[in-house]
């Protein structure tokens, strides 16, 4: 176990400075263009791949960094550059984490590298859990997985929605129900390999923010995948389902929830990146914009806004670093500290970007300045990876043990 420290070591500082350079020189200047285009910024993903920023090795190194701050630092810097491009670069990791959390060593070795491709031929991956009638209520998934024993294949049918990289991904990870009567305990995750017949993209969503990140429906129509595409393997699934049918407590880990739990602090760190970016623009603006014969920051009303913004950003970062350190060091999340970090960081990003717009006055409302984009981008952070209300539900249940609905 590594002691929790707020003092990043030389390795973490080197990674932070390297990513900050990429965010400042490559991501930030391209942010407005890709926001307008609402397309996946493939050239930027490729550039990140060439530098090793978009690679399995890089994320694995950060993910297993025992200090726990590897991933939060990386996310904060990339999203400080721009959240839409940041998500285009890091969206694959959600699917990779699903394989890491639920797959066997062989499955991890097979699928995780394919999700990223190579610098010459970059690929992305998608994690498909949400459905039109199953968003917050993950137990309501309708996508079915039926085992065809004669062929040792699983047959997947259903419609997924809101999938980041859905349809454009090389590898899709799909959460489906094997036994609907068991709710979330009857679910499992499957890899759908590249080029599998029956998987197609439905509508691509036109969004409020993070517009450089592709979000779409994924239709699964008689999709057949080999038996070895069931993450964790059939033996483990059968044992888990048997325990659940017997009504045993803890008779099966919910595949989707396990993935979300592992990724929440990282999502919080993305929100902090957006918040810090907007705060910096606002601080700079307040120091130079003159009204009534003095910089507007000399008004206590403006200065106090900036003080609150900075305080909340730093508080959010502390929660994210703690939760990330706990995850890496296998500490039990007895008070749902992962959810706490995502809740507070997401709400902070929305608050700070709104305040930044206010400090920039009319300019804040235009696309000449980046804070309106940052505000649009921030809004997703109280929605995806569990809404703020769902984070509160998880925290409230953890601290009370009560069956709060």
Ligand X SMILES: Cc1cc2nc3c(=O)[nH]c(=O)nc-3n(C[C@H](O)[C@H](O)[C@H](O)COP(=O)(O)OP(=O)(O)OC[C@H]3O[C@@H](n4cnc5c(N)ncnc54)[C@H](O)[C@@H]3O)c2cc1C
Catalytic residues: 385
Token pair 């009504």 is at which residue? Answer: 247
Q: Nearest CA to 200 among 238, 232, 235, 174?
A: 174
Please count the CA atoms within 13 angstroms of the CA of 366 that sit on its side-chain side. Answer: 6
Q: Which residue in the set 199, 390, 394, 395 belongs to the binding site for ligand X (CB under 6 A)?
A: 390
Task: Specify the stretch interacting with ligand X by CB under 6 A; choose among 70-78, 110-118, 160-168, 324-332.
Answer: 160-168
Q: What are phi and psi of 159, to 5 degrees?
A: -125, 125
State the Cα–Cα distance between residues 278 and 372, nearest whole angstrom. Answer: 9
83 is an interface residue for ligand X by CB under 6 A: no
34 is an interface residue for ligand X by CB under 6 A: no
> Does residue 2 contact residue 67 with C-beta atoms inside 8 Å?
yes
Q: How many CB atoms lie within 10 A of CB 36?
A: 12
Instruction: State the minimum distance, in angstroms, from the CB of residue 94 to ligand X.
Output: 6
387 is an interface residue for ligand X by CB under 6 A: yes
Query: Based on CB atoms, which residue is closest to ligand X, 264 or 276?
Result: 264
198 is an interface residue for ligand X by CB under 6 A: no
C-alpha separations of 340 from 245, 251, 346, 350 in Å: 32, 26, 10, 16
321 is an interface residue for ligand X by CB under 6 A: no
Q: Which residue in the set 140, 383, 396, 398 belongs to the binding site for ligand X (CB under 6 A)?
A: 383
Length of the chain equals 405
Count helices and strands in the chain by DSSP H and E runs: 15, 9
Q: Which residue in the set 136, 200, 203, 335 belongs to the binding site for ligand X (CB under 6 A)?
A: 136
DSSP state of 140: G
94 is an interface residue for ligand X by CB under 6 A: yes
25 is an interface residue for ligand X by CB under 6 A: no
Q: Which position's Cβ is nearest ligand X?
A: 135
Q: Which residue in the set 168, 257, 283, 393 belongs to the binding site for ligand X (CB under 6 A)?
A: 393
What character string, x for contact with ligand X (CB under 6 A) and - otherwise, covers 201-230? ------x--x----x---------------
Query: Based on CB atoms, which residue is closest to ligand X, 369 or 381?
Result: 381
State the Cα–Cα distance between residues 116 and 170, nearest whole angstrom. Answer: 8
| Interacting residues with ligand X (CB under 6 A) | 94, 127-130, 135-136, 162-164, 207, 210, 215, 380, 383-387, 389-390, 393, 405
């Amino acid at each position: 176990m590594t002691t929790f420290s707020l003092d990043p070591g030389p390795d973490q500082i080197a990674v932070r400075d390297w990513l900050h350079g990429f965010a400042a020189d490559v991501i930030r200047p391209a942010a407005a263009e890709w926001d307008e285009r609402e397309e996946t910024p493939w050239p930027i993903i490729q550039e990140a791949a060439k530098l090793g920023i978009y690679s399995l090795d890089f994320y694995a190194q950060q993910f297993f960094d025992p200090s726990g701050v590897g991933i939060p630092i990386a996310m904060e810097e990339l999203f400080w550059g721009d959240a839409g491009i940041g998500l285009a670069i890091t969206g694959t990791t959600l699917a990779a984490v699903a394989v890491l959390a639920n797959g066997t060593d062989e499955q991890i070795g097979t699928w995780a590298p394919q999700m990223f491709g190579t610098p010459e031929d970059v690929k992305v991956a998608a994690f498909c859990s949400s459905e039109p009638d199953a968003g917050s209520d993950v137990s309501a998934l309708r996508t079915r997985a039926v085992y065809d024993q004669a062929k040792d294949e699983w047959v997947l049918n259903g419609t997924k929605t809101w999938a980041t990289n859905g349809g454009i991904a090389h590898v899709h990870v799909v959460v489906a129900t094997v036994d609907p009567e068991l709710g979330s305990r009857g679910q499992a995750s499957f890899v759908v390999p590249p080029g599998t017949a029956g998987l197609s993209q439905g509508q691509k969503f036109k969004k409020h923010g993070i517009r450089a990140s592709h979000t779409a429906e994924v239709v699964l129509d008689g999709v057949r995948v080999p038996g070895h595409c069931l993450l964790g393997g059939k033996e483990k699934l059968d044992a888990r389902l048997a325990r659940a049918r017997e009504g045993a407590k803890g008779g099966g880990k919910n595949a989707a929830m396990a993935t979300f739990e592992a990724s929440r602090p990282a999502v919080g760190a993305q929100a902090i990146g957006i918040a810090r970016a907007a705060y910096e623009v606002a601080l700079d603006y307040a120091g130079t914009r003159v009204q009534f014969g003095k910089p507007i920051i000399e008004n206590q009303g403006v200065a106090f806004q900036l003080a609150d913004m900075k305080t909340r950003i730093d508080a959010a970062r502390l929660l994210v670093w703690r939760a990330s350190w706990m995850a890496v060091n296998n500490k039990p999340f007895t008070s749902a500290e992962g959810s706490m970090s995502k809740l507070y960081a997401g709400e902070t990003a929305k608050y700070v970007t709104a305040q930044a717009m206010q400090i920039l006055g009319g300019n804040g409302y235009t696309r000449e300045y980046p804070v309106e984009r940052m505000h649009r981008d921030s809004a997703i952070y109280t929605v995806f990876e569990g809404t703020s209300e769902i984070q509160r539900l998880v925290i409230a249940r953890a601290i009370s043990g009560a069956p709060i609905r």
